[in-house]
Amino acid sequence: MSGLRIAVLVSGSGSNLQSIIDAVANHTLTSQIVSVISNKEGAFGLERARQSNIPAYFINPKEAGYDEKLLARLQADDVELVVLAGYLKIVQANLIQAYKGKIINIHPSLLPKFGGKGYYGIKVHEAVIAMGEKESGATVHFVDEGVDTGETLLQRSVPVYETDTPDDLQQRVLHEVEHKILVEAIKKLEEESA
């Protein structure tokens, strides 16, 4: 079977995860999701995984050895690509070194704008509106030791309207860009690895 063995890391709703699940189901992607892992026990992303019969794991970040447990899980599943999809935890060096060039993240802004510490979730969209930006968007990038600093794989924009609330903008970025470019980025990596 071609394609990559993917692990998806989530902390919340997992709508980006769902876009990957759907793309695998409808054969847009030839990869398979071998595990979904979360640092939040109640993350709906874990439930989405279970509903699709994908092994779902909660690793408790309050217990010792979180990063080692995460890496061990990925290695046990022979994971080839790690996708951070709304994963609100800084990835530690042990993982970055073990999976150099094989970890990607989706960020809801046109990086390098509105990236880095403190820019996550609705805060990104609040800042974009407060700065009077005329466009925003999302970026899929490789993960390196910095926060939102790795090489860009794909980026796409949407307009920001004067009447937008942060929530309006979040929904537009999520539905019109994130769910599409995340799948396209994985497709690109599949093709490069083929």
Query: Which residues here bind ligand GRF, judged by CB under 6 A?
Result: 10, 12-16, 85-86, 106-108, 121, 174, 178
User: Least distance from C-beta 170 to ligand GRF, angstroms?
Assistant: 7
Any catalytic annotation for residue 107?
Answer: yes
Distance CA(9)–CA(89), nearest Å, equals 10
Which residue minimizes CB distance to ligand GRF? 86
Nearest to 188 by CA among 89, 91, 128, 104: 104
Contacts 24+ apart (CB under 8 A), 145-153: 145/93, 145/96, 146/116, 147/90, 147/115, 147/116, 147/117, 148/105, 148/107, 148/111, 148/112, 148/115, 148/116, 148/119, 149/112, 149/115, 149/116, 150/105, 152/111, 153/104, 153/185, 153/188, 153/189
Residue placing its CB nearer to ligand GRF in the complex, 165 or 193: 165
Residue placing its CB nearer to ligand GRF in the complex, 55 or 121: 121
Residue placing its CB nearer to ligand GRF in the complex, 23 or 174: 174
User: Least distance from C-beta 41 to ligand GRF, angstroms?
Assistant: 15
Of the residues 107, 125, 141, 179, only one is catalytic, namely: 107
Distance CA(172)–CA(186), nearest Å, equals 21
Residue placing its CB nearer to ligand GRF in the complex, 3 or 86: 86
Taking CA 121 as the corner, what is the angle to CA 39 and CA 156, rounded to the nearest 5 degrees?
A: 115
User: Least distance from C-beta 64 to ligand GRF, angstroms?
Assistant: 26
User: Least distance from C-beta 79 to ligand GRF, angstroms?
Assistant: 19
Active-site residue set? 107
